[in-house]
Structure 1
Amino acid sequence: MATTPVPVLDGDSCPKLQMEKRVKNVFVTQPEDPRGRKKEKMCVPATTETSSKLLEAGVKALKRTLIARKQAELHELDVQLALKTQDFRSCMEALASRRSELETQQRQSKEEEMKFEKFVAEKEEKRQRALKQCEATLEQNILKQRRIEDLTEQLTKLETRRHILKQRTDKNKIYEDYLMKTLDRLPSLPRHNSSESLAVPIIRRHETLSVTHQGLLQRLRRMEAEVERQWRQLQNMKQQHSIATLMSSKELSELHSELESLREKNRQVEVNLLMKRGASREKVEEVGKLLMAVNNLAQECYIPEFGPLEGMSVLTMMDMVKEFVLDKADTERRLRRLDSCSTATLTDKPWRKSPKSIGSKTQIKSSSKASKISDSSN
């Protein structure tokens, strides 16, 4: 709202009252004034102007005074509005700085949370690697222990077989001695007929059977080793399957807990969203009620100088209501002041009744016109 400077009332602009000296009037019934003894030559000025001119001059002076007071009040309102605007801007700046600080803190907290999650993930990965390494070491130890047990069992079997073969050799020693003695007692044969002796085919048959027996024993050992290897592989597969089952059940439980936490967060977010929607609905209702109240006030306090009411904004309506209220208050104050002045005048000088009433009406009309002019200029 534009402010206008307060006009300075010049003493020369007002019509000068022409006063004349005349002797003080004293009623006969009144006692003589003792002050008149000391100052017998005291003169009371008397105006030569008529009462209508005096009333017009008074109305003009009162009009200027009211205009100046109105402009001073408007200036004070503008100063208060500027102070309120400055306070509002300072509050908005403080809120913006607070919002930036909160955003910075939120960003820092998110970064710290991401770092912590990364740290937890690294620790979990290290733990998984250590667990896998421990499991691999345990499997190797189990395999080595089984290998030691197998070798010990094979050594025991070989010792038993060696003992059995030694007993069998000792048992068949008498047959070897008998054959050697028989060969010693037989007549000597020619060298070319030595291969045709009866003992050579038997010995060769024995050697063949012994070689076949050794081959069968080696084949049996290989088959036993293969069966043992397959059995160990089956045990390893069973152990790996059990470990994988445990890990899968653990991951499944973790995912289930995460699912429950996400469901709880979703429920909380839904509750917060419903609460915010209810608050926003209440705010919209309050704003609608406030706009309806402003429209009703604008209709009650309509001033034609502000233009048509249909396309008027809310701030313009508030300004119009403020101007209407201020105008009504100012009119009421002036009416009360004029009523008091007229009452005092009627009690003191009854012969000035009609000009005073005419002046009060003229003053009311002129003040209303001045207020409309000041509102249109603002």
Structure 2
Amino acid sequence: MTDSADTLRARLTEAGRVCGGWCTVHIDFSEDRENPEGLAESRRRSVRDRLNRMGADDATVAAIEDALSTPSGLPSPFSRFLLARDGEVAVDEAVPGAARGETLEVGVLPRLAPLIATGVDEFPYLVVRTSRDGGDVAVHRTGAFFPESTASVEGRTDTLHKVKGGGWAQLNQQEHVEELWKQNQQELSAEVDRLVREVRPRLLVVSGDVKARRLLLDAVGQAARSIAVELDANTRSDGTDAARLDAFVAEQVAAVEQRDRADALDLLRSRVSQERAAADVGLREVVGALQQAQVDTLFVDVAALDGETLLALDGVPWVARPGDETGDAEAVGEVPAAEAILRAALLTDARILTATQQATGAGAAALLRWPAASVTGA
């Protein structure tokens, strides 16, 4: 599968620029079933046969079948999303969770909606598992199963446990132990602060021993503390509560995404009421804004746009309604409206959020880079 360091958005954007001969595959590929090897073979054969019947070229079908033959080693349920043309797989993503619907298509453009619905504007986050003798920190990215990188800090472990009793000897020993704990967490905090500066995560999840967590959060900088959330679970020494940590991380990531969407929707509602609104609501208005590369954030409800079509173009302005002036660009086909505006949003570097028609007032809406009444940005 594709290297996660090369962002999903960048790969989809590059695919969206190229017209002709695309195969799109999005299928459930969960392996938690009886006879998973036989099931995987049956899925590959079904995909191959159906793409052949749709007229896909042999080299591209073979490339897809080969990609689907690679063992994933991923936890189920998950789905596979592939875009391929000219005998090469351009996008191969494993998506957590079962596929909401199946897509197999051969066409002039790749189908983007099935994957974009799961989120393409990824963000990084950190997960720390700490204990009194050190800790581990992992860099994750939303939508990925495994961390992009991990680092461990192993501090001093001599005499890590406090002793009971009285007297000066015992007191000195306890102070020594406390100092060891503090030093270990300061080393870990330096690594966390470095990653916060370099990776710019949206979230820092801290789990592990309660005393170690407190020492760590006291030691990290304000940038790290401002995005930190704690899980009261000892997750480092023996993997205890690993499932609980995974569930907590998923909840916190979802909370960040929900806050982003809510904030953007609030901004949309406030702008729509303004006289020279830097916002548009409605498919016609959004298409016009996309043609001017005016859209900062696109809201789309794919289901609400079902049955609507637009023209996809081979160059700027990328999308048009019948009769629109398109300059030197030529239409490559009439495509579902949601696909057309999603492609144009990617190609004009607009942020993409899924939102219901009830939330925005239409199947498509947009926050603009400059007010709708201006074509110059003034």
TM over 0.5: no
Instruction: Say which structure, 1 or 2, has more relative contact order (CA 8 Å, 6+ apart).
Output: 1
TM-score by length of 1: 0.18
Q: Which has the higher strand share?
A: 2
- Normalized per residue, the structure richer in helix is 1
